[in-house]
Amino acid sequence: MGDYANTDEEENDSVHLVYMQAGRWFRQADAIIKQIKVDVVTFHLIIPVERFMVVRTRTTTDDETVLALVNALNEFLGKRFVEVVVRQKTDNPFEVALQVTPISRLDQVVKHLAQHGFDSGPAPSHVLCLQEGDIIELEFSGNIECTDNVPDQLIYKSNVPTVTYFTVKEENKFRQKEHEYFSGLICLTRKYLQPTQKSKKPMTTGQGHDDQREWKSERICSLQLNIPKYHLTPNAEPLKAPLQITDTTGPVDKDLLMTLADQMGDEWKKVAHYLGVHKARVQAIIRNVTVGERSERDAKYDMLLTWIKGAAKALDKVSALSAALDNSDRNDLAETVRRRGKGSLDTRRMTLVS
């Protein structure tokens, strides 16, 4: 008897057995479901299936609605919210660790990597949505390349660490001469299976799955990786950061950086860490303040200039800068950056329309 009835005559809900084949849900119309206890039922499966559900609905709910509800429930239960962590060794920034971790374990993973020497690098990615068994492909762009036989694909499993270690180097030592480090992007792409639109009928025994699904892919994030140049040139007196931005077309311009430099406090060093500005460069900026060559405000501005001048062109600078400020507990400044980015986007749209 269902929850909506007081007597057998008033029974007005139904129990359905639905199962998945090749990524699609089907209802077994002739299923005989017996309730043993309040939360225990028995039934017979005709053929092997990927997964199944037993759901209870009102008798007025049609099969199409039942399958839609089950599909939505399955998609929600299958979602895994993760972040990508990329860390480098401070004493050897060519060695890199990359791990895809549930957001609930982010701090634990960062601490674990730091205990093994991987304690520098870019800020974690934004929150991503994956599913069990998704394939994650790694690509390198910009002026870095991988020197190891790193797996081209990682399979995400929430109960098994999705981690890989590899070594990188600059692709061309004659590029990015004006920067203190070589930089590039680690790009992650998600590949997953999606049911085709060929057939909505359940498969018969012995029918394969290959013609029922197709592979889809989507770029999920890009993280900037920096390699200092001290392995190429001897250490010399650190150069000051450039004093102007040549590209003023984007939302992250001189005015915005000056505003942030004015309003940031001691947390600017944390911001530098999350932006991936190398520790040696931060120490050089602090030295310039110590010897009286630059002010505290100039130091913050120099740090931001160092980052913006070394950032890859393909990097979403608004997202990267606002994320670094959020992670440094300056949500007010992060919101200022996001508003500036939105305003710049609206201006470009109006220009295109006109």
49: how many CB neighbours lie within 10 A of its CB?
A: 15
- List, for residues 331-350, the tens digit of each pLDDT value: 999 998 888 888 665 555 44
- List, for residues 135-155, the tens digit of each pLDDT value: 999 999 999 998 877 766 889
Mean pLDDT of 106-117: 92
Based on the domain organization, do 147 and 260 belong to the same domain? no
Binned at pLDDT 50, 70 and 90, residue 197 comes out as low
Angle, CA 27 vertex, CA 22 and CA 32 arms, to 5°: 130
- pLDDT > 70: percent of the chain: 81
Structural contact between residues 57 and 16, judged by C-beta atoms closer than 8 angstroms: yes
CATH of the domain at 120: 2.60.40.2660
Mean pLDDT of 52-58: 87
> 31 is in which domain, residue-wise?
13-61
- Asked if residue 6 belongs to a domain, the reply is no
Based on the domain organization, do 220 and 266 belong to the same domain? no
Based on the domain organization, do 93 and 224 belong to the same domain? yes
- Asked if residue 72 belongs to a domain, the reply is no
Instruction: Report which of residues 199 and 60 the model is more confident about.
Output: 60
CATH of the domain at 343: 1.10.533.10
Based on the domain organization, do 90 and 158 belong to the same domain? yes
**Total tally of structural domains belonging to the chain:** 3
Phi, psi for residue 136 in degrees, rounded to 5 = -115, 120
Based on the domain organization, do 172 and 271 belong to the same domain? no
- Asked if residue 208 belongs to a domain, the reply is no
pLDDT above 70 (res 174): yes
- The structure's pTM equals 0.55
Note the pLDDT of residue 111: 93
Based on the domain organization, do 268 and 329 belong to the same domain? yes
C-alpha dihedral over 58, 61, 62, 64, to 10 degrees? -120
71: how many CB neighbours lie within 10 A of its CB?
A: 15
Mean pLDDT of 285-311: 83
Based on the domain organization, do 219 and 186 belong to the same domain? yes
Based on the domain organization, do 93 and 166 belong to the same domain? yes
